[in-house]
Amino acid sequence: MTATLPNLGKDLTGLEHLTPEQIRLILDTAEPFKEVSERPIKKVPALRGKTIVNLFFEASTRTRISFEFAEKRLSADTVNVAATGSSVSKGETLVDTAKNLEAMRIDMVVIRHPSSGAAGFLGQRIRSNVINAGDGKHEHPTQALLDLLTIRDKHGRIEGLKVCLVGDVLHSRVARSNIWGLTKLGAQVGVCGPHTLMPRGIEELGVKFFPRIEEAIEWADVLNVLRLQLERMEKGFIPSLREYYRVWGVTPERLERSPRPITIMHPGPMNRGVEIDSRVADGPHSVILDQVTNGVAVRMAVLYLLAGGRPELADAAKRGGGGAE
Amino acid sequence: MTPPILLKGGRVIDPSRGLDHVADLLVVDGKIAAVGAGLAAPAGAEVRSVAGKVVAPGLVDVHVHMREPGNEDEETVASGARAAVAGGFTAVCAMPNTDPVTDNQAAVGFIVRQSVRAGLARVYPIGAVSVGQRGEKLAEFGEMVGAGAVAVSDDGRPVASSHLMRTALEYARTFGIPVADHCEDPTLAAGGVMHEGLVATRLGLKGIPAAAEEIMVGRDCLLAGLTGGHVHLCHMSTRGSVDLIRRAKAQGIRVTAEVTPHHLTLTDHACEGYETHAKMNPPLREAADVAALRAALQEGVIDCIASDHAPHAYDEKEAAFDDAPFGIVGLETAFAVAHTELVGGGVLTLPELVARMSTEPAKIFHLPGGTLAVGAPADVVVLDAAAQWTVDPATFRSKSRNTPFAGRALTGRALLTLVAGKTVHDLAAPAVS
């Protein structure tokens, strides 16, 4: 039976090159791991004896903590390295970091880096498994996987749903990973925001562009509202946060005109009153905190599968049996 | 004085005189002494049969980076000149973005001396347009030309100020030199690392739109029209630039342009997988751009091929795409890439290719060479147009290895290179040094 199951390969650097079967495998493997976090003793021995380095070249709170919980709940030994603001050029640091990590015989690296392609670069140079926790504007695969899991939980399916990513698609790795994951699983994907924040050729990726939020709301079943980096205003992509909220903000008044309830998602951290109104973020259709909860389960699944864990043993793993040897 | 050399029975191609026929070529005292059938060898002459091979004026590259002074670990005038002759080039023009910048007569004289000392290809310095290439104050063109500069350029960065470009074009007229511009609107290109298009969108890399180049091409053509100066447009990469140059030339504006072998053969897809050897500025564009550049070269809208030979240390390219430097080496692959793709692909005939890589660049930069006329310096290349070889960067004479053509099977290479009648490259006897 295992022979017919898809394998994830050595690294998880993005969703673009995964098959729908591989993506479903991760989501399905995450299911049994959800329960582990609900127990009083939140620990299973699946990755006992494995060493994992969380290598963060960019500031991150949520993703780093989520990975760390996932690792610890699987009993891995973890080390956090925050390599920000080095005077050495980033590229040189990365090559040398890779060689040094390899020399320490670690098992897995979770990397976040400001340069697109950095996770793949590292993966090509070390034998350890590499998991991309966000590389530049390229991909953030575990974020998209937890988004997919949350949508599936809420709607019972992904295929056929209309999911619209709202905001700064140009600079967003979350948007790219979501586009790949959603389209591969049969959802229709929309993007909405100012033209200045849309990458060239985005529609050629198979997505529908909505210049105005009202049109996106009329179309969508799910809105995934991206964080608007405050520096985008300084760099001249938008004139002001105030106007952004007026034109593209997701507000209860706008959502009221939708023919159906719309599921509201946000990868966090939110700018309340900029891209999303607080009443929407805290409203009945918001699944923003479910995303955070699912993040741990999805990351446990990814770690488990890359470490060689067999998906059908995930249930046993969470009961304290079979590991990933 | 080197002994006379008689090259017997080759296909002699001399675009400067429209010649393409089987003949002997005799070199005496460093000059072309005769071209014709059945030439007799003078006493002491080295006689080589080059039957089945091509005898052409040495190739001329008006755009290379020698990295000396400043980055001698990547290239020196000597190592670059050695790479040049191995690629069939007898003359190259060295861009001034060295460290310190080649922006005065002493710095220009240094390049000339290093070239003479190496005794390989002729390395002609290009002086900076502005002091320190800072885009503020004109460098001393007159003194630099006196010391041996053949053009001025701030290549590596654009001349951002239209006023500075205007004065450079006007001032250069006195000395009869072209102003070579790296066309890039710095505000549009800022932070970009590859062509702005679908591939950049997928890879999550910041793009450089075609308009960043075209705005400056348009501006430079207008300023050349305004001033009557000669603007030379470096490494053209977009179809829009081709249209602008075609229009300017039709209006009689003094504009010339070059294109690199890589922009004639590769597209932004070469950047897939974050391949840093495909990172260059201007970036590799789209298939429609490649097609337009090829047509422009055929038509003469683009005058010549230049390599933009840009050496970088191996570990600099061993980085994430954003962090790697722009540029690739090209001297040792330029002819073969162009021959394989353009002559092999029916875009140019071999004589047309020789014109675009020798006669034309020599003409637009007013360099000796590009001709086999009797009495001209004997800068000659013997090409084997049928030679099949595979690019192996480990064998490069350049100090650097950064090429996107590694492993590429190519047809055509330089067998023998003579500069002023002296053998400086001989594939049959690779020990020449």
Q: What are the DSSP calls for A266-295, one per residue?
A: --S---BTTTB-HHHHTSTTB-HHHHHHHH
Domain end marker among B364, B387, B411: B364
Q: Are residues B177 and B265 in the same domain?
A: yes
- Contact pairs from chain A to chain B, CB under 8 Å: 80
Is the CB of B203 less than 8 angstroms away from the CB of A121?
no
The interface residues of chain A toward chain B in range 36-95, judged by CB-CB distance below 8 A, are: 89-92, 94-95
Is the CB of B323 less than 8 angstroms away from the CB of A204?
no
Q: Are residues B264 and B408 in the same domain?
A: no
Q: Which domain holds residue B396?
A: 5-55+377-426
Q: Using CB atoms, which residue from A89, A92, A116 is nearest to B204?
A: A116
B contact set with A (CB within 8 A): 196-198, 200-207, 209, 273-274, 315-316, 318-324
Write the DSSP assignment of A163-187 as a string of letters.
Answer: EEEES--TT-HHHHHHHHHHHHTT-
* Closest chain A residue to B274, measured at CA: A117
**Residue A316 scores a pLDDT above 50:** yes
Element (H, E) at B423: strand B422-426
pLDDT number for residue B432: 44
**Least Cα separation, residue A149 to chain B (angstroms):** 23
Is the CB of B198 less than 8 angstroms away from the CB of A201?
yes
Q: Are residues B93 and B207 in the same domain?
A: yes
Identity at A91, one-letter amino acid code: G
pLDDT number for residue A92: 52
Q: Are residues B28 and B165 in the same domain?
A: no
pLDDT number for residue A320: 55
Q: Are residues B105 and B40 in the same domain?
A: no
- A124 three-class SS: helix
Which residues are B422's β-sheet partners? B419
**Residue B433 scores a pLDDT above 60:** no
Q: What is the mean pLDDT of chain A?
A: 91
Which residues are B22's β-sheet partners? B11
Tell me, yes or no, whether B274 lies in a domain. yes
Q: Are residues B93 and B163 in the same domain?
A: yes
Q: What percent of chain B lies above the pLDDT cut of 90?
A: 98
Q: Could you give the residue ranges of the DSSP H alpha helices within B119-238?
A: 141-147, 162-173, 186-189, 198-203, 210-227
Q: Are residues B294 and B336 in the same domain?
A: yes
Is the CB of B202 less than 8 angstroms away from the CB of A90?
no
Is the CB of A199 less than 8 angstroms away from the CB of B200?
yes
Q: Which pair of structure tokens corresponds to residue A180?
A: 């790949």
At residue A317 the predicted structure's pLDDT band, cuts being 50, 70 and 90, is low
* Count of the separate structural domains present in chain B: 2
Is the CB of B323 less than 8 angstroms away from the CB of A138?
no
Residue B377 carries which DSSP code? B
- B92 three-class SS: strand
Residues of A in contact with B323 (CB under 8 A): 89-91, 94, 115
Q: Are residues B277 and B148 in the same domain?
A: yes
CATH number at residue B224: 3.20.20.140
Tell me, yes or no, whether B179 lies in a domain. yes
**A313 vs B12, more confident:** B12
Average pLDDT over residues B291-303: 98
Q: Is B308 a catalytic residue?
A: yes
Residues of A in contact with B210 (CB under 8 A): none
Q: Give residue-wise pLDDT tens across range A220-267.
A: 999 999 999 887 777 889 999 999 999 999 999 999 999 899 999 999
ipTM: 0.89
Task: Show the CA angle centred on residue A193, arms to residues A190 and A196, nearest 5°.
Answer: 125
Q: Give residue-wise pLDDT tens across range A76-109.
A: 999 998 876 543 445 556 878 878 888 999 999 9
CATH number at residue B418: 2.30.40.10
Other CB atoms within a 10 A radius of the CB of residue B24 amount to 22
Cβ-based neighbours of B113, under 8 Å, separated by 6 or more: none
Domain end marker among B341, B364, B387: B364
Is the CB of A91 less than 8 angstroms away from the CB of B204?
no
Asked if A140 reaches chain B (Cβ–Cβ under 8 Å), the answer is: no
Is the CB of B319 less than 8 angstroms away from the CB of A89?
yes
Tell me, yes or no, whether B432 lies in a domain. no
Tell me, yes or no, whether B433 lies in a domain. no
**Least Cα separation, residue A312 to chain B (angstroms):** 33
In angstroms, rounded to a whole number, what is the distance separating the alpha carbons of residues A254 and A240?
Answer: 20
pLDDT number for residue A259: 85
Q: Are residues B190 and B235 in the same domain?
A: yes
pLDDT number for residue B9: 97
Average pLDDT over residues A26-52: 94
Q: Are residues B403 and B360 in the same domain?
A: no
Average pLDDT over residues B176-194: 97
Tell me, yes or no, whether B372 lies in a domain. no
pLDDT number for residue A233: 74
**Least Cα separation, residue A168 to chain B (angstroms):** 13
pLDDT number for residue A324: 47
Average pLDDT over residues B32-58: 97
Average pLDDT over residues B265-274: 98
Q: Are residues B256 and B404 in the same domain?
A: no
Q: Say which of B185, B308, B379, B384 is annotated catalytic.
A: B308
Domain end marker among B364, B390, B416: B364
Asked if A236 reaches chain B (Cβ–Cβ under 8 Å), the answer is: no
For the ranges A119-123, A282-286, A314-318, B391-395, the lowest mean pLDDT is seen at: A314-318
* Closest chain A residue to B196, measured at CA: A200
Q: Give residue-wise pLDDT tens across range B203-259.
A: 999 999 999 999 999 999 999 999 999 999 999 999 999 999 999 999 999 999 999
> Within 13 A of B245's CA, how many CA atoms are on the CB side?
32
Q: What is the mean pLDDT of chain B?
A: 97
Tell me, yes or no, whether B342 lies in a domain. yes
Task: Choose among B94, B219, B98: nearest CA to B152.
Answer: B94
pLDDT number for residue A144: 98
Tell me, yes or no, whether B417 lies in a domain. yes
Q: Give residue-wise pLDDT tens across range B97-123.
A: 999 999 999 999 999 999 999 999 999
- Model-level pTM greater than 0.80? yes
Average pLDDT over residues B144-161: 96
- Going from the C-alpha of B213 to that of each of A169, B56, B152, B190, B294, the distances in angstroms are 25, 34, 19, 12, 18
Q: Are residues B323 and B342 in the same domain?
A: yes
Tell me, yes or no, whether B370 lies in a domain. no
